[in-house]
């Protein structure tokens, strides 16, 4: 069992991680809150972006970069906000030069209201970036055909959304997400976007997803550091539950406590209508008279 | 002559290299540069010649999700 746990690592393009949480670095109230949240979350990767310099911004530039470097986490640049394959590819190339990594979280947004990925632009951009030597982690929907096309062009990891970015709604389409997990059993799948609560993260990990990428759920919590720790625990719990193998759901109640040897037991088979007493009401258990069942449930 | 740096038109005294332009702009490190939308590797700044109307983009790390 110990060996199984040691081997249970997240593998992204050959890189191995003990943590299955990927943490975004945006929308924290202060650099120290970001720093402490990173420590509490213990993430495998940190997502970052690139922009033209904004004077006086606390979450960009040299100090921001030094903070991230000191955490010694793997950096995952994104192409956030890109609306076309052309824009995303140019941004990815700039990110590679700036961050000195081939990893790229590929976003090609198709709708500026829902921030839903553009499936056509996403496949086109992924195809070109893979040819340019990038290790692409596409932010996508749970659509199986889209996911298959992304794998066909060389994406070794997929990042389907749970819900639109920043909404915190949790998995909107649970059935399709679980079907995706079943259809792509050997592809690392990281649920990205729309997670709001640790229970959402735990849930998708229980379904067998390989990791969770979070940002707003931590950074906009009243206490981001505590929430970062809560997510770390939830993701570990969900993963452990998946590895442990959940019980099968049953259609009817199954007593967990042995029935044999129960003291003071009487025959209450009248509930099935077979009792033949002349005065049934006198021998029925008091709880049954008031409509409460006496099944052993614990 | 004029060049466009991060979307803003700026005067330049004469055609020069990207190295010279960056010295005059002194952007805060770390940064990456694109010349007419093509990334310029750090080692190629001196060889990159700036012509009138060229577009230069300088980007920095920023927070992202």
CATH number for B32: 3.10.20.30
Contact residues, chain A, for B40 at CB < 8 Å: 97
Q: Residue B41 is part of which domain span?
A: 2-53
pLDDT tens readout for residues A148-178: 999 999 999 999 999 999 999 999 999 999 9
**How high is the pLDDT of residue A56?**
64
In this complex, is the C-beta atom of B43 within 8 Å of any C-beta atom belonging to chain A? Answer: no
B61:A68 CB<8 A: yes
**How high is the pLDDT of residue A297?**
35
Tally of domains in chain B: 1
In sequence order, what are the residues at sequence separation of 6 or more whose Cβ sits closer than 8 angstroms to the Cβ of residue A252?
none
Dist CA A22 CA A188 (whole Å): 13
**How high is the pLDDT of residue A281?**
47
B62:A24 CB<8 A: no
**How high is the pLDDT of residue A55?**
64
Q: How many CB atoms lie within 10 A of CB A144?
A: 15
Determine phi and psi for A7, rounding to 5 degrees: -75, -15
pLDDT tens readout for residues A228-252: 999 999 999 999 999 999 999 999 9
pLDDT tens readout for residues A85-99: 999 999 999 999 999
**How high is the pLDDT of residue A271?**
57
Per-residue pLDDT of chain B (65 residues; tens, 9 = 90+): 899 999 999 998 887 999 999 999 999 999 999 999 999 999 999 999 999 999 999 999 999 99
pLDDT of A6 over the 90 cut: no
Are A167 and A194 spatial neighbours (Cβ–Cβ below 8 Å)?
yes
Question: Best interface-test mutation with B: which of A23, A31, A50, A215 has the largest number of B CBs within 10 A?
Answer: A50
B60 falls within a domain: no
Q: Which of A2, A105, A236, A289 is catalytic?
A: A105
B17 falls within a domain: yes
Q: Mean pLDDT in chain A?
A: 89
Residue of B nearest to A28 (CA): B63
A52:B7 CB<8 A: yes
Are A197 and A235 spatial neighbours (Cβ–Cβ below 8 Å)?
no
Higher per-residue confidence, A215 vs A61: A215
pLDDT tens readout for residues A262-287: 899 887 665 555 444 444 444 444 44
**How high is the pLDDT of residue A295?**
38
In sequence order, what are the residues at sequence separation of 6 or more whose Cβ sits closer than 8 angstroms to the Cβ of residue A148?
A183
B64 falls within a domain: no
Instruction: For CATH 3.20.20.70, list the domain ranges present in chain A.
Output: 2-244
pLDDT of A290 over the 90 cut: no
Rounded (10°) angle between helices A85-99 and A119-131: 40
CATH number of A2-244: 3.20.20.70
Higher per-residue confidence, A5 vs B3: B3
Does residue A236 carry a catalytic annotation?
A: no
Transcribe A256-271 into DSSP letters.
SS--TT-TT----GGG
């Amino acid at each position: 069992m110990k060996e199984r746990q040691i081997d249970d690592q997240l593998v992204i393009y050959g890189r191995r991680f003990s943590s299955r949480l990927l943490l975004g670095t945006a929308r924290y109230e202060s650099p120290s809150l970001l720093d402490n949240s990173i420590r509490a979350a213990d993430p495998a990767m940190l997502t970052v972006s690139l922009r033209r310099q904004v004077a006086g911004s606390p979450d960009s530039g040299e100090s921001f970069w030094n903070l991230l470097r000191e955490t010694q986490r793997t950096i995952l640049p994104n192409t956030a906000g890109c609306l076309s394959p052309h824009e995303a590819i140019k941004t990815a190339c700039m990110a590679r030069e700036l961050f000195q990594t081939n990893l790229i979280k590929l976003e090609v947004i198709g709708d500026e209201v829902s921030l839903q990925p553009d499936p056509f632009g996403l496949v086109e951009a992924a195809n070109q970036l893979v040819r340019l030597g990038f290790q692409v982690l596409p932010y996508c929907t749970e659509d199986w055909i889209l996911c298959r096309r992304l794998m066909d062009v060389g994406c070794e990891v997929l990042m389907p959304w749970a819900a639109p970015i920043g909404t915190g709604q949790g998995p909107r389409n649970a059935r399709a997400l679980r079907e995706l997990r079943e259809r792509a059993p050997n592809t690392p799948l990281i649920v990205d976007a729309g997670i709001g609560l640790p229970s959402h993260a735990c849930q998708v990990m229980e379904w067998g997803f390989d990791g969770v990428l979070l940002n707003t759920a931590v950074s906009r919590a009243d206490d981001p550091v505590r929430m970062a720790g809560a997510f770390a625990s939830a993701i570990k719990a969900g993963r452990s539950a998946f590895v442990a193998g959940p019980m099968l759901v049953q259609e009817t109640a199954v007593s967990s406590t042995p029935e044999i040897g129960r003291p003071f037991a009487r025959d209450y088979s009248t509930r099935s209508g077979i009792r033949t007493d002349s005065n049934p009401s006198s021998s029925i258990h008091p709880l049954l008279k008031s409509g409460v069942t006496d099944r052993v449930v614990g | 002559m004029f060049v466009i740096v991060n979307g803003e038109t700026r005067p330049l005294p004469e055609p020069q290299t990207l190295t010279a332009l960056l010295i005059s702009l002194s952007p805060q490190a770390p940064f990456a540069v694109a010349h007419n939308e093509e990334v310029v590797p750090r080692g190629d700044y001196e060889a990159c010649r700036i012509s009138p109307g060229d577009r230069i983009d300088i980007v920095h790390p920023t927070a992202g999700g």
